[in-house]
Structure 1
């Protein structure tokens, strides 16, 4: 940065005829005086130049990060218990690390619903439980969803919990199970199964192991997307994956 500013100011000063001396003939003191004088006379020029430089550097850094993400996808193997929505042969898999009380997860749920609608058989969605410790309903909600999964109704239950996130609690868990026509005795037995604690903890640890520090967090064919990003962010990654697959197929 310092080298850029010095070169820019010196070059600008010489170009504007601020000195008749050649840069090669100038002493360090002369250069410093010239730089100081130019900054005082043209502060806005310096500000704009530095701003442009920082923007370009940030763009370069972002572009490199994207390339690195696609060239070095994060490996993650879905567990047998992981619920998956969509065509099993879909070329793109979105793995969502989330929980049912997180408001950002609810926002992301709406985005993902639209993603699935747009891409249909090209995308499948997996859900990995990552309940946050400071959300009191997160673990009970996860257990209820897993109990619904054992009766083949995970995604319906999942959708209902997000649609009624402001009502999370025992009343909603039971009401939703009844509305979905679940066997209530089995539902209650399954959500109180001690094995669910280990299952949920395993999910959470697997997310933390690949860098998920909060929810929601996503892997799109191994490319990480952090937070409740707009649909354009998901589309950009999905479209690039599909384009890369098309190239490989030719």
Structure 2
């Protein structure tokens, strides 16, 4: 018939799938449309057999999505049944199996890595910088890396959707920033701007990260990275992906934005498969912490300041040697004969003293030294005050939507215009501590406020653990501190939260003269 010979006739009967044809049906292989054997023959075309496995190869993600939906429906019904039939205190054991995602192989060669480059679990993310869904699940990705330090790493695949007009250009700009070792900082800054991409957004973002503007502009207009972005896009389409975000945990497919618990379930399954106890600290993390046990040096050196950068070559320490005027030293640079600066670790430096590693502690009182410039962690006490402004019983703030990096040289130039920047703050209607909250007006296109992720009519609430209002605005002193800065604000009636870190020498260098 129609040149195809005998054709299978498929009928839907009472919601079940029946198969009728002129050949003998393999009842063990197909029972009411449910495939029990992947090698079962689904059809014979011109004498050639087509197996269920061949069909499922291209349908594996769709079939898993259906299996997940079935599992969710069954789980919801099970919870209803438990609620209706069980008394309080009754032991309940849920045995409903979780469907296992299909696994694929991906190449991570020449991709920027966040976290331990040799981590046993790779979280590969297919996303578009223009997607609000990709933007909203960034805090979950950061939480995964924070909860499993050393065990998990993140890599990025670009999948700009067809209707994302700025998707390709945004992805290209991030890769261009990566040429100057600022891929992840730029990545975070772009998501903070989403959906307000395009125009001058890319060059402004590059500026506040102290990226070479001339090279960056030329790179963005070039074709090499555009071709790589489109290659990623084609890879996603060949896999059958249609929307973002899509995450592959060691190749295990998970579609759509999910909770931290859903991702961590599969991370821990992968770690268990490798006989790894995720509660045990990875050597990558241990090596960072083990330096705290190094002996304190007795050499005539005084560490007056630290400026750490994610770009190791830009990390420097302000050191006074044998009572002489302090100056900055780069990693590897000699301090004394046979004594050199090895690394910077937050509140101390590691020095190599004739082959022995020793600690050089940071000197001076708080506020009278060059501040740390790359710490992303608050103390536990400060973090609690920030996240629970109304006390322990109060509601906890949402997780930060992004951690944005600000170049010190750029920040220094911006703060020279502090008076005009302050003029952008006006009184809002709500009051706190007897003062009006303050709202931003006329900041659209303003380089400083755009870099900080602010928009017109945003109402500032708190900077770190202090309220912001017409009586006090701690934003300026927080930026001058050089430490991690936590800002909470309201936008269109919804709470938002961002963090900033300040990198590279320039701004605080002047304070030490």
TM over 0.5: yes
Indicate which of 68, 73, 78 corresponds to 2:103. 73
- Alignment match, 1:170: 199
SS at match of 1:167: coil
Indicate which of 183, 207, 210 corresponds to 2:236. 207
User: How many Å separate the matches in 2 of 1:157 and 1:170?
Assistant: 16
Deviation at 1:89, TM superposition (A): 1.4
Q: Is the 8 A contact 1:97 1:216 kept in 2?
A: yes
Deviation at 1:197, TM superposition (A): 2.3
Deviation at 1:182, TM superposition (A): 0.6
User: How many Å separate the matches in 2 of 1:247 and 1:135?
Assistant: 40
- Alignment match, 2:149: 120
User: How many Å separate the matches in 2 of 1:112 and 1:127?
Assistant: 11
User: How many Å separate the matches in 2 of 1:174 and 1:101?
Assistant: 16
- Alignment match, 1:236: 265
Deviations 1:133-180 (A, max 9, x none): 111121111111111011111100000011121321222211110000
Q: Is the 8 A contact 1:95 1:219 kept in 2?
A: yes
- Alignment match, 1:181: 210
Deviation at 1:126, TM superposition (A): 0.4
Which of 164-173 and 87-96 deviates more? 164-173
1:3-18 residue pairs with structure 2 within 5 A? Answer: none
Deviation at 1:233, TM superposition (A): 0.8
- Alignment match, 2:130: 101
Q: Is the 8 A contact 2:158 2:229 kept in 1?
A: yes
CA RMSD of aligned residues (A): 2.5
- Alignment match, 1:10: none
SS at match of 2:105: coil
The answer on 1:192 being equivalent to 2:221 is: yes
Deviation at 1:211, TM superposition (A): 3.3
- Alignment match, 1:55: 74
SS at match of 1:188: helix
Aligned length: 191
The answer on 1:152 being equivalent to 2:181 is: yes
User: How many Å separate the matches in 1 of 2:135 and 2:156?
Assistant: 13
User: How many Å separate the matches in 1 of 2:200 and 2:273?
Assistant: 47
- Alignment match, 1:88: 117
For structure 1, the residue ranges without an aligned partner over 5 or more in a row are 3-53
- Alignment match, 2:442: none
Deviation at 1:198, TM superposition (A): 1.4
User: How many Å separate the matches in 2 of 1:143 and 1:202?
Assistant: 12
SS at match of 2:149: helix
Deviations 1:4-59 (A, max 9, x none): xxxxxxxxxxxxxxxxxxxxxxxxxxxxxxxxxxxxxxxxxxxxxxxxxx727x99
Over 3 Å counting, the alpha-carbon distance change for 1:247 and 1:137 in structure 2 is closer
Q: Is the 8 A contact 2:126 2:244 kept in 1?
A: yes
Q: Which has the higher helix share?
A: 1
User: How many Å separate the matches in 2 of 1:63 and 1:214?
Assistant: 27
User: How many Å separate the matches in 2 of 1:175 and 1:120?
Assistant: 32
Indicate which of 168, 173, 183 corresponds to 1:139. 168
User: How many Å separate the matches in 1 of 2:135 and 2:98?
Assistant: 31
User: How many Å separate the matches in 2 of 1:247 and 1:144?
Assistant: 38
Over 3 Å counting, the alpha-carbon distance change for 1:247 and 1:167 in structure 2 is closer
User: How many Å separate the matches in 1 of 2:157 and 2:170?
Assistant: 13
Q: Is the 8 A contact 1:74 1:210 kept in 2?
A: no
User: How many Å separate the matches in 2 of 1:78 and 1:139?
Assistant: 20
User: How many Å separate the matches in 2 of 1:125 and 1:233?
Assistant: 16
User: How many Å separate the matches in 2 of 1:189 and 1:155?
Assistant: 20
User: How many Å separate the matches in 2 of 1:246 and 1:222?
Assistant: 18
Q: Is the 8 A contact 1:216 1:226 kept in 2?
A: yes
User: How many Å separate the matches in 2 of 1:84 and 1:208?
Assistant: 23
Deviations 1:61-87 (A, max 9, x none): x83631xx3xx521111242x222111
Q: Is the 8 A contact 2:158 2:232 kept in 1?
A: yes
User: How many Å separate the matches in 1 of 2:238 and 2:145?
Assistant: 27
